[in-house]
Structure 1
């Protein structure tokens, strides 16, 4: 795979095709600094075309996922004026776009504080596993600011009605409520988070990495692309997949009653 960037705010561990990315600023509950945003974007770029990396697991150190934006960064930007704030904010939006589009399966493990920007990262994950005791919220309006970059991703994740309620009241809620809202897919007691993660990773490993990447892109395109054009393009993708190496291996394995190579 491409060399991973050196990181000061992230811990990186590649294990059996899974890149574990840990936000590592525990003293600030992993608040999202501009440096962390840059390092996350660099990691995503490094693995983008690498099919040997099957999944990314994103979590936080010290019992918290991410408490939102770094107030120190905001204070530093204040001295440089409005353009600095726009650049700081938009950089995080670019991260959310890139995280949502990354070809690998993005799995978020959500513990402790999942606030503001952390909430946004949860919304762009493919599979989200939350502790029942995690604390979710959009606190921006209670600070006199707006959830500018994360708002569109929150709406797409849980719908406009619920997004309005949560953003306009700064309501805090736990992992069970996050499950009810459809923000996360699993809500587990702390002692069972790792077991659930391993189950999810085992399921992901049953799927061909190229087919997963194409399927993810197709699903995301369904939000915006006209249906007729999308179905025409999807037919071509299907034909390419059937005739490609993964399709041949997968269908052959099925006939031979064995596991395909990528699932071994």
Structure 2
């Protein structure tokens, strides 16, 4: 990274580690002693990264992965003790509300990120970790990964991740998973629509990741960002006619853009487009 790269100005603590290889940014959740339970510092660090790269078209994919062979075991219970003390001092639930809502803001930020977000899911994928998996564009799981929404068994609710789980797996399946709190493996996660591919060992997991990143690189950077934004709009209550009119205008702009012309020439000349090796 150059001195002027936006990531150089990002303030992150040791709860995450950043690794950039060309156009691919890897975010390692780095609290292996707690199965990468998500602390408030981790949440804020992730938000700082995504805010910094929002306009950075040189970063085409973000890969989430956990150190210690676990993805994320949910929220950090230790943080809750401090929040409980703050709530008692204030005599209100505001500290709980602020803490929970900050996590929701992070999930929303990742969900709306213009980059293609890839989640590599191993070990524990629980609670908030499950929610983070549900906002990835591509999710690849080890067959032995353990998924679940354990919140109701703890006397709480999956307050911020619930809408994203419903979008991912549908209301009927989300009801069963959230209300029963059952654990399930990677194969079941594939069946439910949480993940897209399942690896049967570490070697296959790495191969699937590399194959996915190569496919991301073959897609035009600006076209990918515009396509992701269009897909998000398609899932809202926006009027269809207006959406399709706008999409047609975007299509025309893309055809006449440098990307569109390079993509067409590469196809005609039977070669890879220039962005494929970035």
CA-CA distance at 1:80 after TM superposition: 1.8
The one of 3, 7, 13 aligned to 2:7: 3
RMSD, aligned α-carbons = 0.9
Mean Cα deviation higher: 189-198 or 61-70: 189-198
Kept in 1: contact 2:142–2:199 (CA 8 A): yes
1:29 aligns with 2:35: yes
The one of 233, 249, 259 aligned to 2:246: 233
Counterpart residue number, 2:212? 200
Counterpart residue number, 1:45? 51
1:262 aligns with 2:266: no
**Moved segments of 4+, more than 3 Å:** none
Matches within 5 A, 1:86-125: 86-125=97-136
Kept in 1: contact 2:7–2:49 (CA 8 A): no
1:74 aligns with 2:80: yes
Kept in 1: contact 2:36–2:72 (CA 8 A): yes
CA-CA distance at 1:190 after TM superposition: 2.8
Distance 2:180 2:7 in 1: 44
Counterpart residue number, 1:187? 198
* TM-score, scaled to structure 2: 0.93
The one of 215, 222, 237 aligned to 1:210: 222
Counterpart residue number, 1:164? 175
Equivalent pairs counted in the alignment come to: 264
CA-CA distance at 1:46 after TM superposition: 1.2
Structure 1: gaps of 5 or more residues = none
Q: What's the CA shift string for 1:52-108, capped at 9, x where partnerless?
A: 111000010101000000101111111122100000000010011110111110000
Counterpart residue number, 2:90? none
Distance 1:206 1:223 in 2: 25
Structure 2: gaps of 5 or more residues = 88-92
Distance 2:266 2:185 in 1: 43
